[in-house]
Amino acid sequence: MPGLPAFCLRPRDLRRGAVLTLAFLAAVATGALTGCWDQEDGAVAAEVRAELPAPGAPRTAGTADRDAVARAAAEAVAEGKSGKKAAQEEVSRSGDRWGTVYDQGEYAAFAEGLDGHWTGVGVWAERAHDGVIKVDKVQPGSPAARAGLRAGDRLLSVDGHAVTGLAVAEVVSLLRGTAGTPVVLNLSRDGADLTETVRREQLRTEPVTVRQRPDGVTVIKVTSFTRGSGERVRSAVRAAPPGAGVMLDLRGNPGGLVTEAVTAASAFLDGGLVATYDVRGDQRVLYAAPGGDTTRPLVALVDGGTMSAAELVTGALQDRGRAVAVGSRTFGKGSVQMPTELPDGSVAELTVGMYRTPAGRSLDGDGITPDVPAGERAEERAVTVLGGLGVGP
C-alpha cells in the first residue's frame, strides 16, 4: 500500500503494533480519508503509538470486540466466504457506529487522500440512514463538475454496480481507477434518472487557503487536515499583518490527521494541553508545540460539518480561552479508532475510546456549542466579535 502515513502501519504490520486513528470517515472526492496519526513532531504529540491491548481488556461501550471481529473473518475465510463481509456484520451488530472494515485497496485510498491528492471524478459522497448514496459536494473544475453533477444528486450505480446500501468506502473503491479511464454513473435528480460517463483524473485539493478582507482581517480556511496543512496554518498566522485579527474557518472540515490538527492549534498556543484520549481506559495526552501567537484576536468559525480533528482544534482553542467560536453546533465526532489487520488482509477500524478537550469535555454525540451562535452570516458576525476584541477601526 504505497503512500501510507508514517504511523499508519501497513496491514501486515498491524499485528505487531496498532496506530490510533481519530477517523472522520468522510469521502473526499473519490478517495475517502481516514484521520490517522502521522509522524510525531517534537512536543506536538505524546505517546501517539500504542501496542495492541491484551485479549480480554475492557471495552468501551458501543465498541466492537477485536477478537470477535477477527474470529468472524477467520471463520468466513475458512468456509470460502468473504472475511471482510463477515467482519463488517460483526461490527454492525456491536453498535460501534464508527467501526468499519476496509479491503487493502480501500485502505490505501484513504492514505492517498491524506496527501491531498487522488485519482477520481471529484465528488464527495455521503450515505443516508436508509442506505441511499448522495453527492454531498462536487469539486470545482473536476470531471464530475464538467459533467454537471450537483450536490444532492442520488447515485444509483457505478459502472453497473448498484451502490444503494453500500458503505461509502465501497462506493469510493468503485469510483477510483486509473487516470483517463471512463466510469459510468447512473444518478437520480428530482425524480428523473440520468446517466453520465466521465473520465477519471488525477485530482488534488488545497487544504488551506488564505485571504485578506478589506477590513484587514485574515481568513484562514482549512477544508481538511491533510499532510502539511498544520504548518500552512502556522505560516499563514506568521504572515498575517501585525495586530490584525484572524478567522480560522473550520466550517465543513471533516477532520484528518490528528497531528496536523495539533500543529494547527499550536499556531495559536504556546505549548500546553490540546486534548487527552484513551485507549481502552489507558489515557494519553496531546500537547501543543511552544512559540505560537497567543495575543492575536482569533475567531473560530464552525458549523454542523465541523468534525473530528477539526472539533479537537476548536475545543482546545475554546477551552484555553484562545478563540471565540462563532457559528452553529459542530457534528460531535470524538471517538478514537484503532486499525487491526484481519486474516484475509482487510483492515478493521474499531472504536477503542474517546478524546476530551483540555477542560475534560467529551464531544462525542454532543459537539461544540459556539460562544456566539450565527447562521449564514457567520463571517459578518465574526467581524463584530473581532471588533469587540479590539480589531478594526
Cell numbers of 223, please? Answer: 477544508
Strand partners, 185: 158, 196
Cβ count within 10 A of residue 89: 15
Continuous H helices in the chain:
66-78, 83-94, 104-114, 143-146, 168-175, 229-239, 258-266, 308-319, 378-388
CB-count burial class (<10 Å; 0-12, 13-18, 19+) for 293: middle
Nearest in space to 169 (alpha carbons), one of 72, 28, 286, 48: 28
Could you say which DSSP state residue 133 is in?
A: E
Q: What's the CA gap between 100 and 347, in Å, rounded?
A: 8
| Catalytic annotation, residues | 308, 319, 333
Rounded Cα gap, residues 223 and 162, in angstroms = 30
